Chain A
Amino acid sequence: MSEFLQHIVNGVSVGTNYALIALGYTMVYGVLKLINFAHGDVYMVGAFAGYFIAHAIGVAAEGYEPSLFNTALVFVGSMGVCALLGYLIERLAYRPLRDRPRLTSLITAIGISFLLEYGFQLPAWAGLPIEFPPGPSPRFFPELFPRTVWLEVWDVAFSNYDVIALGTALALMLALQFIVYRTKFGVAMRAVSFDPNSAALMGIPVDRVISITFALGSALAGAAALLMAISHPRIDPLMGMMPGLKAFVAAVFGGIGSVPGAMVGGILLGLSEEMVAGYALSSFRDAIAFAILIGVLLVRPEGLFGRRTSEKV
């Protein structure tokens, strides 16, 4: 029983992380009908941004006293860097191609992905205050605060990391849910998602809505990266590939374009991975995500929460 519960805890923990990344995929798909394959690499950049900020404010130094302020600074700073990166990617790479066939943007997304993955593996430029690009070898994310066990029920350990990760992720998802469904900007975003041409006729600045959508989605990837990095501190330039792909699967599973779908899809994917690894074969952990993708595409291509697109005139 306690083993099962522990798997649930771990699964939800990984799952919320996938969910946060999946939200970025689903939001961008919603407004642009584009799978932003560079999104996993934005996540990676988020981890490195956090790493550099943490070093800059002395988190890695001897005798560092953990402080809530510094932790928040790392989080917010890294989300900000990701938001800016997402904005720039859209502005420089996707917007000029908006009127071209969809495939052009898709290939560009893969190009951006490679640019970030391999650009970050280049040797550091001389003369920069930070060691950037970080190069190919893994780095260790400094400890923002020590791990402690907060709660033990039936031999299941809840560490402060688990609780904080879950709490932060849920808070961010609720905030996003609020923005999308309860604010004027959210209505504009959903209008752009349905029909950008008609949205413009309402006076909605479509380009700005798309920019903000990219920035929001990318900031969530930054948060996901930090939540992951505090418990799995090994970071490297290719770290975004697998979570990126799996979060994409989660988004498709939940129904791409659907915000609640991305959340549920992420958590279900995390749970299934954990269950497969725990009770079947741990080497199948990665395979299950793609098995789910194939299954969803065969059985219910619109996903759990997706709407079947009908061409109604």
Chain B
Amino acid sequence: MSEPLLEVSGLEVRYGGIHALRGVALKVNAGEVVALIGANGAGKTTTLKAVSGMLKPAAGQVRLYGKPVVGLKAHQFVALGMAHAPEGRGIFLNLTVAENLDLGAYLRRDKADIKADEEKYLALFPRLKERWTQVAGTLSGGEQQMLAVARALMSRPRLLLLDEPSLGLAPLVIETIFSVITAVNKEGVSVLLVEQNAHKALMISHRGYVLETGKVVMEGTGKELLSSPEVQKAYLGG
């Protein structure tokens, strides 16, 4: 097996006196969808933020294609092939849908390919096309989430970090977004998916990790976790 795309080990984060992550270890191999599930406050979002440079970890290693990346600034990760669609979607509500999507390709110079990619994601999310020139503040939550996913993909990442893409959305919209995640994964984008909706997340994931109070307490393939009694009891209402 070749080197993992992303390898996190011993990751610790503190917010003031709160010890949010206590040595998280996980990895994402090329071509995988990996789910990170857990209860509220388990440290899922914090893990993503520490991986993508939004937070400074107190200790631990993050390696992207084997290169240590702790200490890089958040904006440097895009050039390394990683995109992060953050908690709360991070849409620029003062900009138009078009401007938001273009920003996803901020570092790219290949105008023609950018246009082609835009067309591709607009075809996946036709709702965005209808709202192309509108200010993003007028979008519904579902449309904002579609925009966030499409925008993250516009940088042509090899690794996509998604934070709760299903939060607060209607079931049909969730279906759309998860099918897009599966589709881009088939094209070779690896995904680290943070989800409250453990069942949905594990269904489309190759592997998963269960996070509890800042530690990984269980890991396995999507199927293993889905059928594990502990996971069923804690997260799937079994």
A231 in contact (CB, < 8 A): no
A204 in contact (CB, < 8 A): yes
Chain A contacts to B: CB under 8 angstroms: 184, 187-188, 190-191, 193-195, 197-206, 307, 313
The answer to whether B74 and A190 have CB atoms under 8 Å apart is no
Residues 57-111 of B at the A interface (beta carbon under 8 Å): 73-79, 83-86, 88, 90-95, 99, 102-104, 106-107
* Contact residue among B54, B73, B88, B106 (Cβ-Cβ distance under 8 Å from A202): B106
Residues 146-174 of B at the A interface (beta carbon under 8 Å): 151, 155
The complex places the Cα of A197 from the Cα of B84 at a distance, in Å, of 11
Nearest to A197 among chain B residues (CB) is B54
* Contact residue among B54, B78, B90 (Cβ-Cβ distance under 8 Å from A203): B78
List, in ascending order, chain B residues with CB within 8 A of A194's CB: 92-95
The complex places the Cα of A313 from the Cα of B151 at a distance, in Å, of 20
B205 in contact (CB, < 8 A): no
Nearest to A200 among chain B residues (CB) is B74
The answer to whether A203 and B75 have CB atoms under 8 Å apart is yes
Apart from the given pairs A191-B103, A313-B88, 9 other A-B contacts in the complex at a CB distance below 8 Å: A188-B106, A191-B92, A191-B95, A194-B94, A201-B84, A202-B103, A202-B106, A203-B78, A203-B155
| Interface CB pairs A-B, < 8 A, 29 | A187-B102, A188-B106, A190-B92, A190-B94, A190-B95, A191-B95, A193-B94, A194-B95, A197-B90, A198-B86, A198-B90, A200-B53, A200-B54, A200-B73, A200-B75, A201-B52, A201-B75, A201-B78, A201-B85, A201-B86, A201-B90, A202-B75, A202-B78, A203-B78, A203-B107, A204-B75, A204-B106, A205-B75, A307-B94
List, in ascending order, chain A residues with CB within 8 A of B73's CB: 200
Looking at chain A's contact residues, is the secondary structure mostly helix, strand, loop, or mixed?
helix
The complex places the Cα of A206 from the Cα of B74 at a distance, in Å, of 10
Residues 23-72 of B at the A interface (beta carbon under 8 Å): 52-54
> Interface extent on B, as a size class?
20 to 34
List, in ascending order, chain B residues with CB within 8 A of A307's CB: 94
* Number of A-B pairs, beta carbon distance below 8 Å: 71
Looking at chain B's contact residues, is the secondary structure mostly helix, strand, loop, or mixed?
loop
The answer to whether B74 and A201 have CB atoms under 8 Å apart is yes
The answer to whether B103 and A188 have CB atoms under 8 Å apart is yes
The complex places the Cα of A66 from the Cα of B209 at a distance, in Å, of 75
In the complex, how many angstroms separate the beta carbon of A129 from the nearest chain B beta carbon? 41
List, in ascending order, chain A residues with CB within 8 A of B99's CB: 187, 190
The complex places the Cα of A307 from the Cα of B135 at a distance, in Å, of 13
> Most chain-A Cβ atoms within 10 A of its Cβ — which of B53, B75, B93, B95?
B75
The complex places the Cα of A89 from the Cα of B173 at a distance, in Å, of 48
* Contact residue among A193, A197, A204 (Cβ-Cβ distance under 8 Å from B103): A204
> Most chain-B Cβ atoms within 10 A of its Cβ — which of A190, A191, A199, A202?
A202
List, in ascending order, chain B residues with CB within 8 A of A201's CB: 52, 54, 74-75, 77-78, 83-86, 90
In the complex, how many angstroms separate the beta carbon of B49 from the nearest chain A beta carbon? 9
The answer to whether A197 and B95 have CB atoms under 8 Å apart is no
